[in-house]
Chains A and B, each alone.
Chain A
Amino acid sequence: MKSKLVAMLLLAAPFLAPAPVAAQLRVDITGGIEAPMPIAVPAFPTAAVVPTPAGTTADLGRQVAGIISANLQGSGLFRTLGTGAFPVPGMADVQHPRFGAFRTAAAQALVTGFVTANPNGTLTIGCYLYDVFSEEVLLRQGFTTTPAGWRRAAHKCSDAVYSRLTGESGYFDSRIVYVAESGPRTQRVKRLAIMDQDGANHRFLTGGQSLVLMPRFSPVSETISYMSFANDRPRVWIYNISTGQQEIVGTFESMSFAGRFSPDGRTLLMSVTRSGNADIYAHDVESRRSTRLTSSNSIDTSPSFSPDGRRIVFESDRGGTQQLYVMNADGSGAQRISFGEGRAGSPVWSPRGDLIAFTRIVGGQFRIAVIRPDGTGERLLTDSWQDEGPSWSPNGRVILFSRTERNGRTTLRSIDLTGRNDRRIPTPLDASDPAWGPLLR
């Protein structure tokens, strides 16, 4: 089901064509040194202050602006002048902003909107974007949601603003699944957990009795794959988050691990061990049949599909040390793509197809790096002691990863593919093995 964002834009299209001015409002996120675009996000007003299960419409108006502010600021591309910097607008200001105050504050763009409680119990949240200098309206949308979904409306507004100003799709209305860790490292308790990409709506999916690793989202359903040591049988499982239903993948007698879905969600790639080696299998989710893709006398693991589903990047030590290889989806034509110093592992193909993120290991130091699928253009993005396990945002611009400090603490962090904007993702406990899910519909 396609995300339904466009009706109002289509209606008003003639008025929203970008003005042919010299300085079209646009953020270039392909790299280079940029000053973040100053953008104003005052609190969203409400026509009438009405209580809702999610708080009053006035409170929601402040919080929605706060979420949009945090999303845009957190992307590193914008410097938000937030809710505290401006008085709460009146409803009329949403349609006719008084741009003087925003110009004085040196904002280049303005995000505003409103919150309305509807008689049937739903909320309508408006989302407007203006070019402060030309006073042109660039975006005008609305979202109707149940009170429980109000944060998603703020994320969808953020995605619409980001998309309009960068020309790229956004990534804010999405979730992250990861492993929450606690206890001494010799008896670490690990639990699967899921949260919105901004850390809200956090909940645990498992209770910690079984060691669990490597959760990964299906791109098309409320399903994750993960590895569990339940009953001392380390296996990949598929788990439906909505229904709670789960099953072991395949009927392998030996260990299976490193599951990862194809872009259409119909295939689950994974590694299965065989006499001390490990091969990559493709498991058809519907028919439950598995096909072996590699058969060399080596450890082949960490498979990841290209976004067009035609190739797979994976990690193998068939050449002596762990390196990255790219093969066709049927297992043929494997070619090594990583060279240079040290080892390379845990590759993951960007949803944009242009880059593969991976872990570069040199002399015991683990760093997040990116490389083109043809093996050229390797760039190191991070420089800490042990960063590993990258995962891409839905728009292929931001990389999540796990950082271990020498004292054993593990945290989640993110970094742009340009190597800028290195940030911690807050979690209630220590954390590892993050996986970024798709944009929600």
Chain B
Amino acid sequence: MKRFAFPVIVLAGALALSACARKTDVLPPESWQAPPAPAEAPIDQPGTVPPVEQVTPTTLSGMQADMVAAAGADTIYFAFDSYGLDEAARAVLGAQAEWLVRNGSVRANIEGHTDERGTREYNLALGERRANAARSFLTAQGVDPGRLSVISFGKERPAVEGANEDAWARNRRAVTIVVAGQR
């Protein structure tokens, strides 16, 4: 095969390595510094999250049980990729609304959830649609909207594990959580 005889020899003479001194025409080194090792900064320890208005709801298990007893359930379910309220859901929400109106000292946080069969981002939005659908129904039944907050967990907090229709159906849900009144 072809060989560049002359240039290689010239170069070789110039590039002969010495163990003692590095000739500048051997390998002008490209100098770059590795970035400084990032500071170890665990970011969700107390004090590292900028303070925000306290919105973490304080759940009240006794009141929750009372609501479930009165309304039949704290959870309603949805069809696949849907946020429509069926008859069963409306019945449960109607009873929840009555209980919330009777128990004016508490608030409620409505969680929206999906099954796993959607992309992560879309499911966060769909979960919020479900929570909002429940919230709208409750306010239409007379609950003061200022007492109701919503949060979506998308597909992050399934109620049951499993890759089957039964598990998926049980994960497509909105849950009404009674929390302490803040005002």
Contacts and interface: CB of A to CB of B under 8 A. Distances in A.
Contact of A231 (B28, B52, B126, B129): B52
A87 interface: no
A134 B2 contact: yes
A29 interface: no
A287 interface: no
Contact of A441 (B8, B32, B36): B32
Interface in B57-87: 57, 83
B91 interface: no
B43 A239 contact: yes
Contact of B119 (A3, A207, A243, A322): A322
A128 to B, nearest CB: 9
Interface in A115-174: 116, 124, 126, 133-137, 140-146, 148-149, 152
B35 A222 contact: yes
A345 B122 contact: yes
A380 interface: no
A315 interface: yes
Interface string B18-32: 010010010111111
Given A148-B34, A244-B41, A315 B121 contact: yes
Taking chain B's interface residues, is the majority helix, strand, or loop, or is none over half, making it mixed?
loop
A376 interface: no
A429 interface: no
A154 B128 CA distance: 47
Nearest to A145: B34
A187 B35 CA distance: 36
A205 B31 CA distance: 29
A276 B128 contact: yes
Q: How extensive is the interface on chain B, given as a class?
A: 35 or more
B38 interface: yes
Contacts of B32: 3-4, 143-145, 149, 441
A143 B128 contact: no
Interface of A: 3-8, 11-12, 14-15, 19, 21, 47-48, 91-92, 94-96, 116, 124, 126, 133-137, 140-146, 148-149, 152, 184-188, 190, 203-214, 222, 228-234, 239, 241-244, 246-248, 254-255, 257-258, 271, 273, 275-278, 299, 301-302, 315, 317, 322, 345-346, 359, 361, 364, 366, 385-386, 388-389, 404, 406-408, 433, 440-441
15 contacts: A11-B28, A12-B11, A21-B2, A47-B17, A135-B8, A190-B156, A205-B41, A205-B43, A207-B43, A207-B44, A241-B38, A255-B152, A273-B128, A276-B132, A389-B119
